[in-house]
Homo-oligomer: A and B are copies of this chain.
Amino acid sequence: MTKLVTTPAKGSRDFLPRDVRQRMYVTGVIREVFESHGFAPLETPAFERLETLLGKYGEEGDQLLFKILLRGEPLVKGLRQANAYLAEPNAIVHGRSGETAPGAEPMLADLGLRYDLTVPLARVYAAHQGKLPAVFKRFQIQPVWRADTPGKGRFREFYQCDVDVVGAPSNVVEAEVAGAAAECLVRLGFKDFKLRLNHRGLLRAIVEHAGIPTALEGEAIVAVDKLDKIGAEGVERELAGRGITESSAKKLLAIISEAKTLTGLRSVLTGSERGQRAMDEIERVLDFASVTAAHPYLTFDATLARGLGYYTGCIFEIAVADLAGSLGGGGRYDGLIGMFLGKDVPACGFSLGLERILVVMEERGMYPEGLQQQLDAVLAPVEERDMKAALALCEQLRSHDLRVDLMPKAMQPGKLRKHVDDQGLGAAVWVEPGGSERASVWTKADGQTRKDQLPAAIAALLAGQRSAKP
């Protein structure tokens, strides 16, 4: 027999029972918090039309999309096109994967895997408008896929946990989504995270004030976003590389690094209506958030930029000291829905990254005790011919709402007890030779074996043991 490769594909992971239980615990807490805040669940397909995804995540995002090969006759046509296209040297290399020739339709792929949960939300809001309330508050916990280079805590398949409010311009929404995100972390046991707040309009005002031309605004913001990682000198080099003059770069960095408080910035940006409006919004959000779970963690930070292109107003990022990168982020994006609906609709959301939350919880040992001990007992017959009696007893115990694992082979009591012990479980039950209705129970808690027990007595013993768990 030839063995096949058995590792999961690059950047993807198998979640064994221990992993799944941890993941379900965390998503369960997050789901409960989101539901308690009035968000309703949404799920969207794993793949979207390629045209739905392309152009929404910037050039880099387009390249990181997993694209699904055309099937049947369209693929043959696509290959013929590709054939013609290949005649132009380097054309494909430049476009990376399945890109279109200039002016042509996509050639080899028609679908792409979900890249985030925000673009699908925008599409859904436009598609199901009649069925959804005018203000649509939804949460969504699903995997997304990016063909990124895998690294520590960085995968090609990973879960996002998003809340968004579509259709409401009020800044109370920013406080609601940030409050919900903060409460998720608090309920999971985090006490030391930082939730930073800034505003795209303020960044734009600062960039303008530094004398950077509007055309280079995006470039400047992308460079500022790296301040955390590469420091002021690094950002200055980045700005220079992006065609921004040295004096503008220095001015920009000076404003940002000195902008510790809104009051200070207010006086620097007296002439900027955009800047003043943005600061009004920041102040409103801080005021609203002061009555939410976000309050102890929330600070204004003029250096926060966030990469993604679609934000238009307030932006957030949530992080802990012992993990590079953020645990999540969000903000207001009033233009994205319009790309699908044909008219602008205000929207604001927050996305928690499940994988990073899990990494920190694992490192810090934050999972509740007993999470892995889902079974009340393991059951086996001592002799193979009593298997039916063992199965019947199992079913009786299960009918008492107990979780009982039947070993599909006869086992000696000592071996069964060892198995229970090894698996960190609480009780072993075995059918003695002869297969009467009565059986023996060993509980780990007291190390006692009780022989000749009736099913109801065993059920009561196991139920009591469960409620005594820490």
Binding site for B on A (CB under 8 A): 1-9, 12-17, 19-21, 23-24, 35-38, 40-49, 51-52, 63, 66-73, 75-76, 79-80, 82-83, 86, 92-93, 96-98, 108-109, 111, 113, 123-124, 126-128, 131-133, 135, 137-138, 143, 145, 147, 157, 165, 168, 170, 172-173, 175-176, 179, 287-288, 291-293, 338-343, 374-375, 378, 387-388, 391-392, 395, 398, 401-409, 423
Contacts and interface: CB of A to CB of B under 8 A. Distances in A.
Nearest to A8: B45
A109 to B, nearest CB: 5
Given A402-B36, A403-B36, A42 B69 contact: no
A6 B127 contact: yes
A189 B450 CA distance: 37
A9 B391 contact: no
A141 B75 CA distance: 32
A43 B69 contact: no
A388 B170 CA distance: 11
Given A52-B4, A96-B72, A387-B170, A45 B123 contact: no
B44 A398 contact: no
B126 A3 contact: yes
B86 A9 contact: no
Contacts of A401: 36
11 contacts: A1-B342, A4-B339, A6-B123, A6-B124, A14-B127, A38-B405, A66-B68, A135-B409, A168-B408, A176-B408, A288-B388
Contacts of A176: 391, 406, 408
Given A35-B403, A36-B398, A340 B391 contact: no
Nearest to A48: B9
A331 to B, nearest CB: 16
Given A37-B398, A40-B17, A92-B75, A9 B45 contact: yes
Contacts of A113: 46, 68
Nearest to A21: B41
A123 B6 CA distance: 5
Contact of A41 (B1, B24, B69, B123): B24
A118 to B, nearest CB: 14
Nearest to A19: B43
A341 B408 contact: no
A40 to B, nearest CB: 4
Contact of A128 (B16, B37, B41, B168): B16
B4 A51 contact: yes
A291 B392 contact: yes
Given A135-B407, A176-B406, A123 B4 contact: yes
B6 A340 contact: yes
A442 to B, nearest CB: 17
A153 to B, nearest CB: 17
A17 B406 CA distance: 37
A276 B12 CA distance: 46
Given A9-B48, A14-B127, A391 B291 contact: yes
A154 to B, nearest CB: 15
A11 to B, nearest CB: 9
Contact of A38 (B131, B137, B145, B403): B403
